[in-house]
Amino acid sequence: MRNLVDFLIKYSTWFVFTFYVIISCIFLFDKNPYQHHVYMTSAGKLTAGIYDMSHNVTSYFNLRETNEELQLQNARLEEELLSMKAELQQYQERYHADTMTVFEPVRPYKFIIASVINNSISRPYNHITINKGSKDGLRPEMGVIDQNGIVGVVNVVGENYSRLISLLNPNFRLSCKVKGNEAFGSLVWDGKDPQMALLEELPRHAVYKTGDTIVTSGYSLMFPDGLPVGIIAGSEKTIDDNFYTLRIKLLTDFSRLSTVRVISSEMSSEIKEVETNNTEKNNQKN
């Protein structure tokens, strides 16, 4: 017994060292980002509180650029609204005689406005912290956009804060297509340039040219169909000959994220329910 105690004391440093290394490795190799506990991430109360305080100061820094971008978007939306109003007017006139009512457009998506309080672009796996949480109706796997394009997807939700997986994170793959073309591929960041990403697995028959816009495909439930993501900047050489890989210039400027919109989809829970029901039924059949 005495020998054992002596042994433990003599080599205590190695035991302590091994213990800490093992704990670190457990964190390090836990690859499922959706299972992290909220207190171990930047969405925790203390950590997010500190980021919130510093955000109160730094949020003023980029107001000019943000304002300009908003003005531009506003102008674009106004144009779109006017043209749509004109179109609607035409239809109303045309169908007036047929007593056909014009449908109220279905609006399955709702936006929740949030501020980015912490953000990184220099790491290989980037995350973003925002100041809205489960109290405001956020749930994991909701999509997040800003005035220019796609930002990321909600990942860990705290009471008042949440952590997002940034688009600049190889763990996040986004289903996208070339605008005006139904061929779709999968957008993923390659860890190099925060302005560039890769569109992989685009079928060989897809027609595209440099400068075309890439939009979301709407196949994932996080983002509606047709949100702008980036612009084709060129193509990459691939090993697989059946697919193209394109280099995409992202529209979102991740170095200046300020206000973002979380997309809360009324439909997504319904679609998900249908999907799970189907798979359950299939499983029962089998």
Partner 1 sequence: MLKTVIQFFILYVLMVLAQVIVFNRICLFGYAVPLVFIYFIIKLPVTLHINWVLTVSFLLGLTIDVFSDTQGMNALACTLMGLMRKSVLHLYFPREDDMTSSQPSMRSLGVSVYLKYVFSISLIYCTLFFFIENFSLFNPGRLFIKIASSTLLTFIILTAIESLRSRRNEKRL
Residues that bind partner 1 (CB under 8 A): 12-13, 16-17, 20-21, 23-28, 30, 36, 39-42, 44, 47, 50-51, 54, 120-125, 127, 129, 163, 170, 191-194
CB of 124 to partner 1, least distance (A): 5
Residue nearer to partner 1 on the CB measure, 114 or 215 = 114
Collect all residues with Cβ–Cβ distance below 8 Å to 211 and sequence separation of at least 6: 231, 232
Which two tokens mark 108?
């399955």
CB of 177 to partner 1, least distance (A): 26
Residue nearer to partner 1 on the CB measure, 188 or 215 = 188
CB of 21 to partner 1, least distance (A): 6
Q: CB count, 10 Å around CB of 170?
A: 14
In this structure, what DSSP letter does residue 40 have?
G
Q: CB count, 10 Å around CB of 163?
A: 27
Which two tokens mark 233?
């900047």
Strand partners, 197: 248
Residue nearer to partner 1 on the CB measure, 49 or 203 = 49
**Using CA atoms, how far apart are residues 219 and 207, in angstroms rounded to an integer?**
20
In this structure, what DSSP letter does residue 174 have?
E
Residue nearer to partner 1 on the CB measure, 42 or 268 = 42
Q: Distances from the Cα of 39 to the Cαs of 29, 46, 47, 157, 158, in angstroms? A: 18, 9, 9, 10, 8
CB of 204 to partner 1, least distance (A): 27
CB of 23 to partner 1, least distance (A): 7
Residue nearer to partner 1 on the CB measure, 193 or 236 = 193
**Using CA atoms, how far apart are residues 126 and 200, in angstroms rounded to an integer?**
20
In this structure, what DSSP letter does residue 131 have?
S
CB of 133 to partner 1, least distance (A): 16
Residue nearer to partner 1 on the CB measure, 73 or 255 = 255
Residue reference for tokens 């909600």: 154
Find out whether 143 and 223 touch, Cβ atoms under 8 Å.
Answer: yes
Residue 123 backbone phi and psi in degrees, to 5: -90, 165
Which two tokens mark 112?
């929740």
Residue nearer to partner 1 on the CB measure, 42 or 265 = 42
CB of 123 to partner 1, least distance (A): 7
